[in-house]
Structures are given as structure tokens and as C-alpha cells.
Amino acid sequence: MATDFWASSQYKRWIVDRATLRQARADDLLYVEDPEHLDFLAIYFAEVVGKLGKKLRLPQRAIATATVFFRRFYLKNSYCETDPFIVIAACCYVAAKAEECPVHIKNVVGDARQIFCHDPYNVKSFTSDNSKLAEMEFYLVDDLECDLTVFHPYRTLLALCKSVDGSEDLAAAQEEEAGEVGTGIAADDGPRYWGTGEGQLELPPNGLQTAWFIVNDTYRSELCLLYPPHLIAIAALYLTCIFHPATHETVAAVLASGSAGTTASAAVDPPPRRSSRQAAERKKPVQDPLAFLAELNVSLPLIATIAQEIIAMYTLWDRYKEDASAADATPDSRGDDEAVVTPVLLTAVLLKMREARFQDMSHPSSGRPVAVNKMLERTQAAG
């Protein structure tokens, strides 16, 4: 069912373990000098997907879906045997269809060439033939096993919390971005509070936006393949309590007043009875974000693990500099934890990997040449 994550193909087939991820990168590890560059390539490709998605004016949900398609495709393929740039274009093209915001194939090819054929990528060989992208779409959907419904953390995030600043325009825009898929509640599952705000965590101004941005950032890693989306959303809320100043102050104030309030409450006389109007006008107590998270039916150690992985991704991303010059990058960062890594460097690393792999496949030890990439292999098998 499209509205039930636990019955979806994403839960049954596309949530994998780290051993599967390591196996997917086994061939790439043979051709990369520094294994850490593969982690940077995950950030690099997510940035490329984002650039093309924004160029095509896709909503954030469609860009996230395209990124998930890209990650799933490379669970079955290696960077060194395929052209990731044609795969990225195909992912954006298919994701736009899947999220009901389609774009013409001619626009995808044209905008992709404008981005890929110039600095810092300089992929001069990127096709201008629309039929090549249509062919790649066929291979992509085949490897995705036609599983094009993707659940994202956005819907869970909006279900769990809301902003107290009353920014209706932002809330409406976020509702539209989150889409209608992923509620996971059937009509006969009991009382629903969907859309009423009942039981939601009220975040200070810009707190929800901070959590939203953290969710966006998680697509620069492979968390979308490792954990269900609702756990990623809760981890983003947890990090918001730490990173967002106003939310962090709220947590600190609640913790500071908690112990003092419990000891003093016994000595204080009970308040006088108030009228119904006074009760209605009574100020709402400040919510405790940590207590809200603790009451959720999830494993808090697992949430902490996801949060640590997000922080590790930020640490790696801090060394990735889009605007740094090639001279600032180092070809081997194993001896320097603060080495800057640039798109120019990663483009060169990717090109070197593919050339080495193609050379090995063209001149194998068996003496019998094999297809130089997956697309050619499939074409030869079909013809």
C-alpha cells in the first residue's frame, strides 16, 4: 500500500545493512587510492543531484526522491563501471514523474549539459541525444525493480511538531513539499488527530525549519538506505534540540526548573479556583522537548546512533568545499584530517577510477575482453 510504510517495497527491499553497502562498493575500492574519497563521492553526487533538480525547478521532495533512486541504483552497480552523470539525469527525470511534477526530456538533457559540461565537472562527453536518456531511464527503472514510491522523513516531521511563530505560509509550503504519502494510518485504526495539532511538539521560531534542513542534509549520506524515514525525522528533531539556540534554551530551562519545581510544589498552597474564562486564558505550560521524544515508541539508543551518524556526515561535509580552488585540495587526505576536498578533485578521482576499470575489463587476465560498462553489456545481450 502506498500509505503504509511497513507494507511498502521500501521497507521490504530497500532498507539494507552496512554489509550490503560495503559489498556494493567492493569494485570501487579496488580502483580508488583513498577509501575516504568514496564517502566524499556520496556528498558530491548528492550536490550534483541537487543542482540539476534546482535547475529543473523540482520541489525538494522530488530532489530527495531522485537522490534515493541514485543510492538504490548504486546498490547494484559501481561508480567505476557506469557513468554517474547520465544516471543522475535519469534519476531526476524519473523522480519528477514519480512525484507528479514531470519535466520534458529535452529540458533535462539541456539543463544537464549546462551543468555537467562546465566547471567543476567538465563532462564534455555528456550526451545531447534525448534517446540516450530515455534508454538510461529503462535501465534505471529495471534496477529499481519498478519500486518508485519513496517515503521521506518530511511527513513524519510535520506530524510530530509545529512552529509556534504562526508562519502559515511556511507551514503550507512544507505541507506541500511533504506530500500526501506516508501517513501510514488506515481509516479504522482508531481516533485520528491528523491536522488538528493535538499532541504535537511546539518548536520555537525557526526550530521546525532547522529540523527540515537537517532532514535535507541527511540525503548527502546513505542514511536513507539504512534506516526508516520516521527514525531519521526523530533524529533530526533530537539534533534540533541541540543545535537550534531557542530550542536548546527551552530544554535547558525545563531541565533547570524541573528539580526545583518538584521540591517546592509541596510547600506551596493550592491555587484558588478560577472561573472558566480565567482557565481558558491561562498560559499553556512550556513543553519539554526531551520528554516528548522519550515518550515516542522508538528505540532512543538507535535515535542516538542515527544522530551520531548525521554529525559524522557534517564533519565530513565541512571538508568538502564547492568554491575552493584545485590547489587547495589534496590528492590524498589520509595523513591530514583537515584536508580540503573539492568537486574538481573528486571529478578527477572518478575519471581515474573509470579509466582503470575500463582498462582492466578490456584486457582481463582471461584474455577475453568483456563489456566496458553495464549499459553496453545489456545492449550486447539484447542485440
* pLDDT tens, position by position, 350-371: 999 999 988 887 766 655 555 5
Give pLDDT, residue 193: 47
**Across 61-75, 147-161, 240-254, least confident range:** 240-254
Domain 15-150+324-383, what architecture?
Orthogonal Bundle (1.10)
Give pLDDT, residue 3: 73
Give pLDDT, residue 63: 97
More confident residue, 134 or 264: 134
Beta bridge partners of 320: 341
* Other Cβ atoms closer than 10 A to 196: 8
**Cα(383)–Cα(373) distance, integer angstroms:** 16
pLDDT of 7-27, one tens digit each?
888 999 999 999 999 999 999
| Closest to 252 measured CA to CA, from 240, 262, 242, 260 | 242
**Across 107-116, 222-231, 276-285, least confident range:** 276-285
Q: For the residues 72-97, what does the mean pLDDT come to? A: 95
- Quickly state the pLDDT bin for 176 (edges 50, 70, 90): low
**Cα(252)–Cα(49) distance, integer angstroms:** 38
Q: Which amino acid is at 46?
A: A
The domain ranges of the chain are 15-150+324-383, 153-317
Give pLDDT, residue 119: 86
Give pLDDT, residue 205: 76
Over 50: is that where the pLDDT of 333 sits? no
The H helix count followed by the E strand count for the chain is 19, 2
C-alpha cell at position 333: 587526505
Q: For the residues 257-268, what does the mean pLDDT come to? A: 51
- Looking at every residue in the chain, the average pLDDT score rounds to 80
Over 80: is that where the pLDDT of 109 sits? yes
- Quickly state the pLDDT bin for 1 (edges 50, 70, 90): very low
Angle (nearest 5°) at CA 230 between 316 and 235: 40
Give pLDDT, residue 379: 41
Residue 80, class by beta-carbon neighbours within 10 Å (0-12 exposed, 13-18 middle, 19+ buried)?
buried
Over 50: is that where the pLDDT of 102 sits? yes
- Quickly state the pLDDT bin for 123 (edges 50, 70, 90): confident
Give pLDDT, residue 266: 44
Identical fold, 15-150+324-383 and 153-317 = yes
More confident residue, 299 or 205: 299
Q: For the residues 124-145, what does the mean pLDDT come to? A: 93
Decide: 25 and 78 in contact? Cβ < 8 Å.
yes
- Quickly state the pLDDT bin for 324 (edges 50, 70, 90): low
Q: For the residues 99-104, what does the mean pLDDT come to? A: 94
Cis peptide before 285 (omega within 30 of 0): no
Over 60: is that where the pLDDT of 292 sits? yes
Q: Are strands 161-163 and 201-203 parallel, antiparallel or unpaired?
A: parallel
Ranges 130-144, 162-176, 177-191, 310-324, most confident = 130-144
DSSP character at residue 273? P
Coil vs helix vs strand at 202: strand
Over 90: is that where the pLDDT of 221 sits? yes
Give pLDDT, residue 110: 94
Give pLDDT, residue 77: 94
**Cα(329)–Cα(120) distance, integer angstroms:** 13
Q: For the residues 318-334, what does the mean pLDDT come to? A: 63
Q: What is the CATH number of domain 153-317?
A: 1.10.472
pTM attached to this predicted model: 0.81
Over 70: is that where the pLDDT of 276 sits? no
| pLDDT > 70 fraction of the chain, expressed in percent and rounded | 70
Over 80: is that where the pLDDT of 250 sits? no
- Quickly state the pLDDT bin for 264 (edges 50, 70, 90): very low
Angle (nearest 5°) at CA 101 between 99 and 106: 120
